[in-house]
């Protein structure tokens, strides 16, 4: 779908989906598309629950969306306490590693009992590689795996909080000179709708990056071996020592135990002889498990206003949402639908979430990507009639 490349979910309405994430880049908070603005102890009516199932503390049920203006199926998975954890999974366990269905990611993971699709991702036109390029930031098990490609909302799964972007910083110390890292494991250069980023800056790549490191005239890739530090050089709030092994102007693949840095010719890296060591420091306040989405729906009881031009949120679509109640219960909800025809608007999502006492929530990728797999089955009805492969998923893991 890159003509030029568009950031979308794997959904049928390409134009509307492309607008979705462009809006996430341009707007943060603006006028509301609906009169609802603050939850703040508003009266809630309990939703009608049907087909309820409990699996060792995991609650799986459907609710009636009619009172909230939603006339398609609404499915919910909830849990609280230490029995379960929400975990981020990557298609084929790699950044830009392709696509995989949420159910297969769950089935491949020990202890997984439920799964939904994760963040938005980019697709490519027919005949080109289709890496399932992630859009937002990803921190998994305290390792910064991917930095946001555009301004993008994020969810800290451990702190049960949301933010307007991913807080991160990474830099290398070259004989006392600090060189900031521009991006980590991003597929560059990028050409999305209203986003045109050349192959520029100091770009860092680690073994989870599935593609070849991009090469271009006027750039050099410096190949380092990690000689000290944490298990991963990009573990947040840590420092690692890297020894220069070689340099190249070709597109190459990062190998285990290595860190590759692509930089412009004339960078301070060019002063390093082979065998020299640099220090890299990576920091973040975003927590150890963080994933992107768009937009924030609720933040500590306050409804986030939706920009009227954000048609993806103003119009009905199939939806996937991660949220938490004030008491710390995790709520995962999907709404079936067809792009721009049926499903839920942002306003209706807020009403549904309020009925479940959700306090904080982030909208994830939706449309044909919307999938809820639990208790060994895909519970919802994907709009294309079958589960679609995606680039990331959220898994509910039963703790041992």
User: pLDDT per residue over 327-369, tens digit each?
Assistant: 999 999 999 999 999 999 999 999 999 999 999 999 999 999 9
Q: Which of the listed residues 217, 249, 283 is the one where a domain comes to its end? A: 283
If asked whether residues 263 and 298 sit together in one domain, one would say no
% of the chain at pLDDT higher than 90: 74
Confidence check: pLDDT of 13 > 60: no
Q: Cα(249)–Cα(238) distance, rounded to whole angstroms?
A: 29
Confidence check: pLDDT of 290 > 50: yes
Assess if residue 143 is contained within a domain.
Answer: no
If asked whether residues 50 and 119 sit together in one domain, one would say yes
Contacts of 101 (CB under 8 A, 6+ apart): 371, 387, 388, 389, 390
Assess if residue 259 is contained within a domain.
Answer: yes
Assess if residue 38 is contained within a domain.
Answer: yes
Confidence check: pLDDT of 139 > 70: yes
Q: Which of the listed residues 283, 300, 325 is the one where a domain comes to its end? A: 283
| Count of domains for the chain | 2
Contacts of 104 (CB under 8 A, 6+ apart): none
pLDDT at res. 229: 78
Confidence check: pLDDT of 18 > 80: no
Q: How confident is the model at residue 3 (pLDDT cuts 50, 70, 90)?
A: very low
Assess if residue 142 is contained within a domain.
Answer: no
Average pLDDT, the chain: 87
Assess if residue 179 is contained within a domain.
Answer: yes
Assess if residue 198 is contained within a domain.
Answer: yes
Q: Cα(176)–Cα(334) distance, rounded to whole angstroms?
A: 51
Q: Which of the listed residues 232, 250, 283 is the one where a domain comes to its end? A: 283
Assess if residue 292 is contained within a domain.
Answer: yes
Q: Cα(77)–Cα(312) distance, rounded to whole angstroms?
A: 24
Assess if residue 325 is contained within a domain.
Answer: yes
Domain limits at 82? Answer: 7-134+154-161+288-398
Q: How confident is the model at residue 194 (pLDDT cuts 50, 70, 90)?
A: low
More confident residue, 188 or 135: 135
If asked whether residues 175 and 128 sit together in one domain, one would say no
């Amino acid at each position: 779908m890159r003509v030029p490349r568009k950031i979308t979910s794997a959904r049928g309405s390409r134009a509307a989906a492309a607008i979705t994430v462009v809006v996430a880049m341009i707007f943060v908070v603006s006028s509301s598309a609906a009169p609802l603005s603050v939850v703040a102890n508003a009266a809630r009516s309990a939703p009608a629950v049907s087909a309820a199932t409990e699996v060792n503390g995991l609650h799986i049920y459907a609710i009636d969306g009619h009172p909230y203006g939603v006339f398609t199926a609404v499915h919910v998975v909830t849990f609280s306490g230490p029995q379960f954890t929400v975990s981020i999974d990557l298609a084929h366990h790699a950044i830009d590693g392709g696509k995989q269905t949420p159910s297969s990611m769950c089935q491949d993971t020990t202890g997984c009992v439920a799964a939904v699709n994760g963040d938005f991702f980019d697709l490519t036109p027919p005949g080109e590689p289709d890496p399932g390029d992630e859009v937002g930031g990803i921190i998994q098990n305290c390792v910064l795996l991917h930095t946001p490609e555009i301004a993008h909302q994020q969810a800290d799964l451990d702190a049960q909080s949301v933010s307007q972007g991913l807080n991160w910083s990474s830099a290398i110390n070259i004989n006392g000179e600090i060189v900031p890292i521009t991006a980590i494991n991003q597929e560059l250069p990028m050409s999305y709708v209203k986003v045109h980023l050349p192959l520029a800056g100091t770009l860092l790549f680690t073994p989870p990056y599935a593609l070849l490191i991009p090469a271009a005239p006027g750039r050099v890739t410096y190949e380092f071996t990690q000689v000290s530090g944490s298990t991963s050089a990009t573990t947040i709030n840590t420092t690692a020592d890297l020894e220069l092994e070689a340099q190249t102007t070709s597109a190459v693949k990062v190998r285990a135990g290595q860190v590759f840095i692509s930089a412009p010719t004339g960078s301070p890296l060019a002063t390093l002889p082979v065998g020299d060591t640099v220090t890299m420091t990576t920091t973040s306040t975003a927590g150890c498990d963080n994933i992107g989405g768009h937009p924030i729906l609720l933040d500590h009881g306050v409804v986030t206003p939706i920009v009227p031009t954000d048609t993806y949120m103003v119009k009905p679509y199939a939806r996937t949402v991660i949220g938490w109640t004030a008491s710390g219960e995790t709520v995962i909800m999907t709404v079936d639908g067809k792009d721009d025809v049926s499903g839920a608007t942002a306003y209706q999502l807020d009403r549904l979430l309020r009925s479940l006492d959700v306090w904080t929530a982030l909208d994830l990728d939706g449309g044909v990507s919307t999938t809820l797999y639990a208790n060994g089955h895909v519970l919802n009805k994907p709009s294309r009639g079958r589960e679609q492969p995606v680039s990331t998923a959220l898994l509910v893991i039963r703790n041992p």
